[in-house]
Every structure is written in C-alpha cells, then in structure tokens.
A and B are shown apart, each in its own frame.
Chain A
Amino acid sequence: MRFRIYRYDPDQDREPYMQDFELAEIPSGMMLRDALLALKAQDETLSFRHSCGEGVCGSDGMNINGRNGLACITPLAELKEPVEVRPFPGVPVIRDLIVDMQGFYKQYHSVKPYLIRHDPEPEVETLQMPDERDRLDGLYECILCGCCTTSCPSFWWNPDKFLGPAALLQAWRFLADSRDQAENDRLDALDGPYRLFRCHTVMNCVDVCPKGLNPTRAIGHIRDLMLKKSI
C-alpha cells in the first residue's frame, strides 16, 4: 500500500514536503496507526503522537485523505491509495504530523469547562435524575482530540476569536448539567459576534468527530437558550 506523508523538521527543513512510503504487507484489520508505526520502523525520523491505540485518548488526530480523524481507529481498508496523511489544518506544525495545540486549549479553557456551584455541598451526592443525566450524553464523551475544531473554517479564519466546536460543545455540556449554577455567567461569556456566533453551521465538526458527537447541535442549543433568556 502506498502512502504520502507530510514531513517537516524544524531543525533541518526550510519548508515542508511530502514523502512517499510503501508497505508491502497489510494484515487484515490493520489501522492507520499500525501502518504509521511500520513506516516509522523504515524511517525513525517520522514523528507523530499516539498513545492508547483504541480511540479513547485523542492523541493521534491527523488529516487523512483530506479528512480529520484518529489514526488508531481508521482502518486502512477504508482508505484510497496513496493514503495522504497531513497534520491538522489551520494550526502551527511543530514537526511532521505533530501540531501545536496551545490555541485549541486556550479556547477550551476560556469556557470555564468545570462545574460551578454556589450552594454548599450536601453530605452525600447531589441528586440528578436519570433524565437529567441523559442530557449529558453526547457531550461528556468528548476526548479533546481537536479533530472538529481544526476542521472548522470559522476557526481557521478566526482562531483567536471564535471558540471552535470542541470548546462550545463543552460550554453546552456544563449549561446542560442540572447541577451547574452559573448559567447566566456562561451565557454572558459567549455573547458577542465571534465567540459563539461565528459558527456558520458548515458541520465539518459533526462529520469528523471520531466519537460521533454533534457540536453543531450543541451550539444550536446554546443559541436557543440565549434567545429564550433575552425575551
């Protein structure tokens, strides 16, 4: 199987280039990460992040044949040749497939992604009914891999101002939590022309999320809530 992989070494290269690789043997069920590891054995300088190998840690996000995804749960059988692998678009490249995630994290941190309560804590757990807990399904599973945010044109154009789908999904995760007591503060912080409202429902985020989550819908819920609050 043939591969074309984006290479850039800040110590050596003036500019990035694409390198061709080939793997003679492809065992059935092989994932892209395993293929990258086999290519790394051919050329140890090929650099990428990876860790759990089962799609739960979110380390090995990259652009695969034009689409963001996690290498460890992308079967080679689904990819057409040559498999073109690039770093996430729209964010600075550190080396090869490794990108700088600082901007992504900055936006994520800015939504206060933690439960805020003002009441004194009860001795036991705060009660939450199963239907209230169900509202968090599809939100709490986010692994912060960055596939969605770095596939979003609004984020490419305004990475400092638009929060991006991952951060907004988390903003809704806490707004949706029956235990959270900071609704007004959270909504105020999302107001303005950019932070939330630069979402143009392109829906790349929904298309690429490896966990099957739907940030666009979450953004819609935030908009609805803002509207409800303003009348």
Chain B
Amino acid sequence: MLTYDILIVGSGGAGLYAALESRMEEDLQVGVLTKVYPTRSHTGAAQGGVNAALANLDPTDTWQDHWFDTVKGSDYLADQDAAEIMTREAPMVVREMEHWGCPFSRTDEGKIAQRPFGGASKPRACFSADKVGHVMLHTLYEQGIRHGVNFLNEWQVLSLMHDGQRCQGVTAINTQTGRVHTIQAKAVILATGGHGRIYWTRTSNALGNTGDGTAIAYRAGLPIKDMEFIQFHPTGLRRTGILVSEGARGEGGFLLNGQGERFMSRYAPEKMELGPRDLVSRSCETEVREGRAGPEGEVFLDLTHLGRERILERLPQIRELCIEFEGVDPIEEPIPIKPTAHYSMGGIHTDLNGQTPIEGIYAAGEAGCVSVHGANRLGGNSLLDILIFGRRAGKHALEYARNNSFTPVDTGQEEADAKMIASIMEGESGASIADIRRSMGNLMAEKVGVYRNGKDLESAVSELADLQEQFKMVRIQDKTKAFNTELVAALELKNMLDLAEVVAVGALERNESRGAHTREDHPERDDENWLAHTMATLGDDGRPKLDFSPVTITEFEPKARTY
C-alpha cells in the first residue's frame, strides 16, 4: 500500500498550488496523482488572464470593485464571503506567482501588465501574451520540483475512501502497468478540473476534462453543488470548439453577425463585446436562431481593425490556432465562431478552506464549488480560483495532516475496483465507448445547452438513463493490461455519465433562468424561490437526490443585472 500524508489528485493549477503550499516546509510527504504529466494539464490551455485588482493599469481599481463584479457576474448565486476572500487575496497570490518566476507581460514601468476582460468594470486581467495558463502551470510545476513534491504520473483515480467522518485515501490504477492500488492518505485534495467533456466534442475542454474527482466524490456520498450551471464560451472556433480567448475582445475585437452588424449593441449596449459570457453566448445563439448567422450557422469575431502588430504581440497563439484549425488569418479576415461548452461552475461542495463535509477530504479549482462563480463565472476568475483555493486547501490540509493520524483502511475497495475493472474488460457485445460518448455529447449539446426547456430536459434525463444501461454492457476490444487507453476511456465515460445525469436533473428542477442556466419556459430569474444552491447526493436508488441550501449574502443585495 502506498502512503502519503497528503495526496492531491489532479495536476492542474489548483492541484499543483495545493501541493506546493503543503510541501513548502518539506516536513510531510506530499504526492500528486495525475492521469497525464503535470504540464499537460488543462490549466495550460488558458489564454487570456488572471484577475487581480493590482491597479497597475487603472489606479482606481480596488478589490471591492472586483468583488462586486464577481457577484454581479454570478447572477448573485456566488457566496459573497467566498467571493470576498478570493478578490481580497488576489493581488497577494498573483504576486506570489510572480515571485516564483511566472513570466507575466509587463507595463512600461515594469509592473505586471493587465487588460480589460468580460464583465469587469476595470482592466484587471493579468496576462502573459495569450498564454497565461501555460506560464502559471509551468511555474507551479517548476516550484513543485524544487520543493520535492512526488508525482504519480499517468495514474487514474478510481474511488475515494472515508469512514463516514474522516478521509482514508483513494484507490487508483497505474495506467502503465494496469494494476489497482490502495493509496492511504490523511488528507486527499481533489483537483481534477471540470467536466466539460460531458458535451464530448462540443467543448473547448481537453480530452481529460471528464470530472473524475467530482464523480468519485459523488459516488462516495459527498454532496456536489450547482451542477446545472455550465458556462458556454461565446468564441469557440466554428468547427472544433477550440477556444479563442476573451482576451481577443479585451484587446478590442468586435462580434459580427452574418450581415456584418455589431450585434452586441442589441444586448449589452454599454459593455458591448465585453459583456459577461452567459449574456454574450446567448446573444450569439439568438442571432443564429433569428436567422442572422453566417453560412455554417456561425457568427464572427473580427480582429482585423486591431492591426497586424497588436495581434502578433498580444494574441500570437490565437492567430496560430485560427490559421491551423480554420484556415483563417485573423489579421486578414474575421474568425468564424460558435459558443462552446467551457467551464463547470458546479462541483464538489466545500467550505471556505476547500474542505468537504468529510474531514481531511478537500476539493479545489474547477472540481470544487465554494462557490465563487455562482451561476456564471467571469473570464479571468478561474485561474484566480485555482490559485486562491488551491492554496487554501493546501494550507488547511497541511495543518490537518500535521495534527491527525492515518485512518485505518483495508483493501476491500481495491478488490471491489479490480473486480469492477475486470467486469468492464469482459464486455464483448454491447455498444462501443465511442458510440455512447457521441450520443451523450450530442444530447447534452442539443438538450442541455445554452437554451433549455422542461420538455427537452426530461427527454435528456431519460436518454441518459438509457446510456447508463448501455454502458453496463460496453464493448472493450483492448484486453492488454499495459497502457490500456480504451479502459481509461471507459472509466472516464462512467464518470461523465454520472455527472451528465446530475447536470440534467438539476437543470430540469431549476425552474428559472439565472446566469448560464437559461430556461425558455422560465425566462426570468426567480430570487424568491431559487436564490439557492443545488446540492446533489447519490440517492439509495442510484439516482441523484436534490436539496437546496441558502446563498450567503453579506454586502450586495440581488439586483437586476444589466451591462
């Protein structure tokens, strides 16, 4: 049996920050279990910025402005105490990243450069060209190496173990050998990222964003929160869903419909293209529905007026992606775009320290839900969330692990998981993983997308139940133990099917429109009945059971949201 004082599952920004924070004094054994290599985590794909009210560009910016923008952006579903912590501590963590070597772009005075971003009242997104996720991920990995964090690369987590009160550890499979192991840990921090892949290819997310940590927490009886809130990013490339950063609009890009109109004037006359993502995505989708799209049902992001030099300096990677994947050079012509599933606002329910209701089990980053993003996350707040709550979870877990002993664990779960895998591997006759996955993605995109309604959601819930049945018989061709990528895909699909069900059930239950959740049959926000977090737990019947808990409101009374 492997043993760590603190085991972190997931090696994106939240996981690596948590690992670093808990290993800083080098007195405890800290392990990071990841299904990829750390620098291949999806944090690295973040492009545009990380928010912190440094006031380097606009001296009047304050963390309180950032706080309000975040709460307003969340459509008042964020817990205001959590959003306060995040925005107040933001300058400190961003500067800490800088001290660790993160190569931010600079102002003429040599300070960290900042740019405007959607839903923000002041320019406060700190950036490094259009690769801020890459530089943050690498900086955290570099410092992790320096401080002796252990890495278990290319392992897939299987189950989370606790005794009802305290953490015991996890089980996981070493992909290279195909062996299942028990890993005992005083504290486990789940930082496995979001579950955008439940939309399969209709997403900006990487292959691995399958919500593994969220799914194992749910199966271990922990509550998962606000799962119906999925952010659609307005500017995914038309054919692949690959992201074009909000930084492109931050630098002054226009959104045009098929007739060449700057259509945002209809929806957000003041903020225009820099409205929040939920609003801009709905606007794009509305243009398409009302017949003002381009020839392939797309709208356009026009950067041509920014000029060659600015595009090359500020948005070089985006230009490359557009050329590679759409054959369009943004210097010359507008980029064809479509909204794409991008971010999971919901996740494992935690307190302000990232702790779940089980002592010693934590969640951070996109896998967790404190909640700071509520019903709609602002651009630049996800990279901030992973720093702030990765750090807090790491700090708290460190204290917890110092003051507590290991909770005994037997190998029963390991045996059960080995059996589960053996039974998946026996599948010969059913549908293939690829077929089930495609059906799941299509139905989620069509029925649980930007616009939703009761009828479609009901049919989505029942179709998902069918797919879960099909999965029990899934066909596996690859019978080899070493590096069985088909088995990994099956384990991921199992996780996604569980989470997709919770998303759809939550969306069906929530009879209002708030943030990213838009119900055509309930178009208004309903604070009287729905100013509440959705808490889903796994019911005895194997279906999600929903409860609701109040939102923490400390400073800003909910108001109508206009931009």
Residues of A within 8 A of B (CB): 9-12, 29, 40-41, 43-45, 47-59, 73, 75, 94-95, 98, 101, 105, 109, 112-115, 117, 121, 123-130, 132-133, 136, 140-141, 143-144, 174, 177, 179-180
Contacts and interface: CB of A to CB of B under 8 A. Distances in A.
A94 B327 contact: no
A207 to B, nearest CB: 18
A114 B476 CA distance: 43
B134 interface: yes
Given A94-B176, A128-B110, A133-B103, A109 B145 contact: yes
Contacts of B240: 53-54
Interface string B36-55: 11011110110000000010
Contact of A56 (B44, B112, B432, B485): B44
A196 B208 CA distance: 36
Contact of B145 (A29, A49, A114): A114
B207 A128 contact: no
Given A115-B101, A117-B99, A143 B134 contact: yes
A133 B240 CA distance: 33
Contacts of B45: 52, 54, 56-57
A57 B109 CA distance: 32
B288 to A, nearest CB: 22
Contact of A98 (B103, B131, B145, B483): B483
B563 interface: no
Contacts of B484: 47
B99 A126 contact: yes
Contacts of B99: 117, 121, 125-126
A127 B486 CA distance: 49
Contact of B239 (A29, A75, A112, A128): A29
B493 interface: no
Interface residues of B, number: 60
Given A9-B480, A98-B483, A125-B111, A57 B206 contact: yes
A113 B132 CA distance: 18
A112 B142 CA distance: 8
A133 B142 contact: no
Contacts of A94: 176, 482-483
B507 interface: no
Interface of B: 36-37, 39-42, 44-45, 54, 95, 98-101, 103-112, 128, 131, 134-135, 138-139, 142-143, 145-146, 176, 206-208, 239-240, 242, 317, 320-321, 324-327, 432, 434, 476-478, 480-486
Closest 10 CB pairs of A and B: A115-B101, A127-B110, A114-B142, A44-B477, A57-B40, A125-B98, A95-B483, A52-B206, A45-B478, A114-B146
Nearest to A113: B142
Contacts of B42: 51-52, 57
Given A53-B206, A94-B483, A127 B111 contact: yes
A12 B36 CA distance: 25
Nearest to A124: B95
A141 B132 CA distance: 10
Contact of B103 (A9, A58, A123, A136): A136
Contacts of B483: 47, 94-95, 98
A73 B111 contact: no
Most A CB contacts (10 A, CB to CB) among B98, B104, B485 go to B485
A56 B134 contact: yes
Given A41-B434, A114-B146, A11 B110 contact: no
Contacts of A10: 482
Nearest to B321: A54
A44 B101 contact: no
B482 A11 contact: yes
Contacts of B101: 114-115, 174, 177, 179-180
A16 B305 CA distance: 54
A125 B324 contact: no
B549 to A, nearest CB: 35
Contacts of A49: 36
A47 B486 CA distance: 8
Given A117-B99, A140-B131, 11 more contacts: A44-B432, A48-B485, A52-B44, A56-B134, A56-B317, A112-B146, A114-B145, A125-B112, A127-B110, A129-B110, A133-B104
B325 A29 contact: yes
A11 B480 contact: yes
A212 to B, nearest CB: 9
Contacts of B482: 9-11, 94-95
B480 A12 contact: yes
B142 A128 contact: no
Most chain B beta-carbon contacts within 10 A, residue among A56, A113, A124: A56
A58 B39 contact: yes
B555 to A, nearest CB: 27
Given A11-B480, A125-B112, A127-B109, A51 B206 contact: yes
Given A58-B39, A98-B483, A130-B108, A140 B242 contact: no
A203 B536 CA distance: 56
A152 B207 CA distance: 30
A140 B101 CA distance: 11
Contact of A143 (B44, B107, B207): B44
A11 B479 CA distance: 10
Nearest to A173: B103
Contacts of A54: 45, 240, 242, 321, 325
B40 A58 contact: yes
Contact of B324 (A43, A55, A101, A113): A55
Contacts of B95: 123-125
A53 B478 contact: no
Contacts of A75: 324
A3 to B, nearest CB: 18
Nearest to B242: A54
Contact of A41 (B138, B143, B432): B432
B215 to A, nearest CB: 19
B140 to A, nearest CB: 10
27 contacts: A10-B482, A12-B480, A44-B432, A45-B477, A47-B483, A51-B206, A52-B40, A52-B44, A52-B206, A53-B206, A54-B240, A57-B45, A95-B483, A98-B483, A105-B37, A114-B146, A117-B99, A123-B95, A128-B106, A132-B110, A133-B105, A140-B128, A140-B135, A141-B131, A143-B44, A143-B134, A177-B103
A211 B384 CA distance: 26
A133 B317 CA distance: 18
Contacts of A40: 485
Contacts of B143: 114
A141 B483 CA distance: 29
Contacts of B485: 40, 47-48
B176 A133 contact: no
Contacts of B54: 125
